[in-house]
Amino acid sequence: MKVTEHIELAKNPLISAEIIPPKRGGHLQQIFDVLQAIIPFEPAFIDITSHAAEAIYEEMPDGRIIKRVKRKRPGTIGLCASIKNKFNIDPVPHILCQGFTREETEDALIELNYLGVENVLCVRGDSLNYTKQLPDNRTANKNTIELVQQVHNLSKGIYQDELIDAAPLDFCIGVGGYPEKHFEAPNLAFDIQNTKQKIAAGAHYIVTQMFFDTQHYLNYVKRCREVGITVPIIPGIKILTNVKQLHSIPRAFHVNIPDELVDKMFNAPEHEQQNIGIQWALKQSIELLDAGVPCLHYYIMQNTTPIVKLLQELKKRL
């Protein structure tokens, strides 16, 4: 089922989550354990992140330094098949601009279609630490708008090559939104206009970057609606678990952490820090439900203990 259909048919707000594939050499059971932990809370869909290849420099026995380009976390498409078939949950793989040609993207979408996957999340992806040379006659999407256009074109049977009587690939397309603006945008108004272009290109819903002040999300939705964006806007929530994240998360995701949360985390002993993060995310979840959000989307990666505790508490209060 498509994400938008889940939302339209739901009688109550939905729960969804985002996970990350195991590192190369990791075991699939890691992901099964994550899913087994959250299945009791009936997630409507599960996002699976995707990562492009990156350059890794290795020293050889003779002292030479060589560069290898490889993906640390392959397996997004395979995980989609496992999640759909073993758990009967709709997977939402992330499709990237960075590191992939349009032709590679088309091949991946064909494979996903064969697996019965109906949803994708289109994102630009992290900047590469090397320059990928495009082979002759290959092209790449420069940004998410172009990527969305490519996926949308496939819904009309438009492929990279001109094919006669080509079967359409009908995906529900999600895109990212940034309540505190994308770090490269000059301001929030500019960023929202960019998001509006993603919707015009064919996207069906928005999942926001994490935020720790609910008012940022509410303001973002209001401003999106003011410029004519009518698609569902799903809030993304992250549970802080330790003081180190007060530095790493703003650096990686360019979000602000409220003074109150920072003070509580810094002044708490280590064994209490995770609970402070859970209670803060629980408060946000209740505020968002009171505001009428269609779905709560949790960034859990592979750590399920905090989200299980949060959802158990949330269930008691609803």
Q: Compute the average pLDDT of residues 64-78.
A: 64
Q: 90-121: per-residue pLDDT in tens?
A: 999 999 988 789 999 999 999 999 999 999 99
Place of tokens 């009688």: 11
51-55, 106-110, 273-277, range with the lowest pLDDT: 51-55
Q: Average pLDDT of the chain?
A: 90
Q: Compute the average pLDDT of residues 126-148.
A: 74
Token pair listed for 294: 């269609």
pLDDT interval class at 129 (50, 70, 90): very low
Sign of CA dihedral 142, 144, 147, 153: negative
Distance of CA 75 to the CA centre of its chain: 16
Distant-in-sequence, close-in-space partners of 185: CB < 8 Å, separation ≥ 6:
178, 191, 194
pLDDT interval class at 38 (50, 70, 90): very high
3-state secondary structure of 28: coil
Could you give the domains of the chain? 3-317 (3.20.20.220)
The more confidently predicted of residues 220 and 140 is: 220
Report the predicted TM-score, pTM, of the whole model to 2 decimal places. Answer: 0.91
3-state secondary structure of 56: strand
pLDDT at residue 303, rounded to an integer: 86
